[in-house]
Chain A
């Protein structure tokens, strides 16, 4: 039982950077914009947050700085793709290239800096519940923030008018424009939000989780976040499940190894991606579900004229 509790709690922590980045990207994609620059944005967010926290001594300034950095990064992408009509796939890849370099460059002076670990915030009463308590309610504060983000994004997309507008733009920017919605402005906001969340995911990794800064420390999590959005068929709740599954698979594999069980690591590591493809096939073979979930105009440029 203790092992299961430990695995579950660790899976949640490991999944949290993915939750941030994937929920942000989900909103971006729901507006019809495909930003492949998540990895680079997370890195720049991570280093900005870490550097700010290390310099000011205030973690929350760090959090803010990471989000601002994410907004600036995705702002470059937005200008390129939304104003200058550059291809989204190519611009996103260029953004990652840029972000990897920029973060390494910015981070040079901070490589030897250490931050104090942030103590977990135990929620009174709730953390006392057997099993559930230690699994859910003894985490660092950003984990709870990620849950609030999940609630917020779900409410926004499915319960608010603005969310409806955003989704309709993702479906058909042409008709949304015809009705009079400012397509470009909303796509801008969605892209910047995605950037802020990717930045926050990076901050969580550098400032709270490890806590350290080293070049390239995001180590592919940005790409996993992209996969996750698809795996989740653009549904926030499934993003959460998927993020914890991705996190959990690694953790469970470590626990198995620690207990002396040997597994072919490559096979296990490829499972999430294969699963994502299978999920994709299932949702897309039925035109009704794909229409319900996938933003039809994803990756297609649109310019109102």
Chain B
């Protein structure tokens, strides 16, 4: 007797809700074991990871601040992923967005015009789209794999930023440290809640979630993209423009990542540094899948991911756990979440070996 996965005729809506619970259950079990082995009280550890970071208003503001770029990028990526356009270079597009927005901020340094900030948003989006246009062009013109091109461009983007802050854009007053001037008030997002770092960028991310929902689930173009993702042949038969979809998928992801990059430099960072993102572009890919490429799912997944980061810091401060624990625990939870979703489309079936053997032979014959 052994277990076998069998495809369901229809994805199970029930399992759609149950699978995150399953993942949570597995995380609790694994976490219990892990923290006990480390000699920590598991209940206290869970409290520290998941509740302590959001115990007050500032904690919640920080949670939303960190979730903002994640949800924004993930919803942009989901548009492409739905159509089987695999942009995994959002990190690079984010960096380009930061560079373009930072360029605008530095060019208008000292200006008190109200238009600087909107221009930075637009510049960020353009930067991200430009970087995403490269894989789009190469894919549509030369059939070049966009996964790989977009990934390669991440390195190039980081090196470009490093060069800019080391040489042409270096702050002349900055004692030769690789950084630009700090942006002035006009080039920074206004705070949303006084006394916290949460800023207007969060509203932009929320708007992107809403727009993503309308586009993906309610518009004809979104429908086309989903069809293309599910069945290439059907999309071609229906006469959908495949190249157009590749362009759209990549540009939406690029624009979102670019605006997220702009939001980092116009938000919590406030200047260009050699590194403007602790890997948001990659984390957002995980967020997109944990959120099942659905805007609402992505919203929840980004909050969870953000909480895990904050929880890792809290665990260091409160429990003296090393920072390595964060990655370990994050990775485990993500494995469970990614793995549990199998039960939405598949069911577990008990099969008898002889039968299975026979079937295999039959198939082979």
**Residue B5 is within 8 A (CB to CB) of chain A in the complex:** yes
Can you report 8 A-B residue pairs in the complex whose CB atoms are below 8 A from each other? Answer: A84-B341, A86-B338, A90-B288, A104-B324, A227-B148, A273-B152, A274-B152, A304-B363
**Residue B155 is within 8 A (CB to CB) of chain A in the complex:** yes
Knowing A90-B288, A101-B326, A266-B160 are in contact, say whether A280-B331 is a contact too (CB < 8 A): no
Interface contacts (Cβ under 8 Å), in number, total 162
**Residue A303 is within 8 A (CB to CB) of chain B in the complex:** yes
Inter-subunit contact B341/A86 (CB<8 Å): yes
Chain B residue at minimum C-beta to C-beta distance from A215: B324
Least distance between B176 CB and chain A CB atoms (Å): 16
**Residue A99 is within 8 A (CB to CB) of chain B in the complex:** yes
Knowing A87-B289, A95-B331 are in contact, say whether A269-B159 is a contact too (CB < 8 A): yes
Inter-subunit contact A86/B339 (CB<8 Å): yes
16 new A-B contacts at CB < 8 Å, known A85-B346, A98-B335: A36-B88, A87-B338, A98-B327, A98-B331, A103-B324, A227-B155, A269-B159, A270-B156, A274-B152, A277-B152, A281-B142, A284-B144, A285-B144, A299-B86, A303-B5, A304-B363
B324 contact set on A, CB distance < 8 A? 100-105, 108, 215
User: Which residues of B are in contact with A by a Cβ distance under 8 Å?
Assistant: 5-7, 86, 88, 134, 138, 141-145, 147-149, 151-153, 155-156, 159-160, 162-163, 166-167, 282-283, 285-286, 288-290, 322-332, 334-335, 338-342, 345-346, 363-365
Knowing A85-B345, A180-B363 are in contact, say whether A299-B152 is a contact too (CB < 8 A): no
Q: How far is the CA of A104 from the CA of B334 in the complex (A)?
A: 19
A68 contact set on B, CB distance < 8 A? none
Inter-subunit contact B152/A101 (CB<8 Å): no
Size category of the binding interface on chain A: 35 or more
**Residue A80 is within 8 A (CB to CB) of chain B in the complex:** yes
Q: How far is the CA of A90 from the CA of B77 in the complex (A)?
A: 12
Chain A residue at minimum C-beta to C-beta distance from B329: A101
Partner of A230, one of B138, B148, B283, B331: B148
Knowing A105-B325, A215-B324 are in contact, say whether A285-B289 is a contact too (CB < 8 A): no
**Residue A97 is within 8 A (CB to CB) of chain B in the complex:** yes
Least distance between B8 CB and chain A CB atoms (Å): 11
**Residue A237 is within 8 A (CB to CB) of chain B in the complex:** no
A18-50 interface code vs B (CB 8 A; 1 in, 0 out): 000000000000000010100000000000000
Inter-subunit contact A34/B156 (CB<8 Å): no
Q: How far is the CA of A61 from the CA of B304 in the complex (A)?
A: 40
Q: How far is the CA of A273 from the CA of B203 in the complex (A)?
A: 36
Partner of A102, one of B7, B282, B327, B364: B327
Least distance between B16 CB and chain A CB atoms (Å): 15
Inter-subunit contact A305/B6 (CB<8 Å): yes
Inter-subunit contact A270/B155 (CB<8 Å): yes
Chain B residue at minimum C-beta to C-beta distance from A90: B289
By secondary structure, the A interface counts as helix
Least distance between B286 CB and chain A CB atoms (Å): 5
Least distance between A55 CB and chain B CB atoms (Å): 19
B289 contact set on A, CB distance < 8 A? 86-87, 89-90
Q: How far is the CA of A305 from the CA of B334 in the complex (A)?
A: 27
Inter-subunit contact A101/B330 (CB<8 Å): yes
A87-131 interface code vs B (CB 8 A; 1 in, 0 out): 101110111011111111100100000000000000000000000
Chain B residue at minimum C-beta to C-beta distance from A95: B331
Q: 5 shortest A-B CB distances, which residue pairs?
A: A98-B331, A101-B327, A180-B364, A104-B324, A101-B328
Least distance between A92 CB and chain B CB atoms (Å): 9
Inter-subunit contact B148/A94 (CB<8 Å): no
Cβ < 8 Å to B, chain A residues 247-305: 264, 266-267, 269-270, 273-274, 276-277, 280-281, 284-285, 287, 290, 294, 298-299, 303-305
Knowing A94-B286, A97-B330, A273-B155 are in contact, say whether A34-B147 is a contact too (CB < 8 A): yes
Least distance between B77 CB and chain A CB atoms (Å): 10
A4 contact set on B, CB distance < 8 A? none
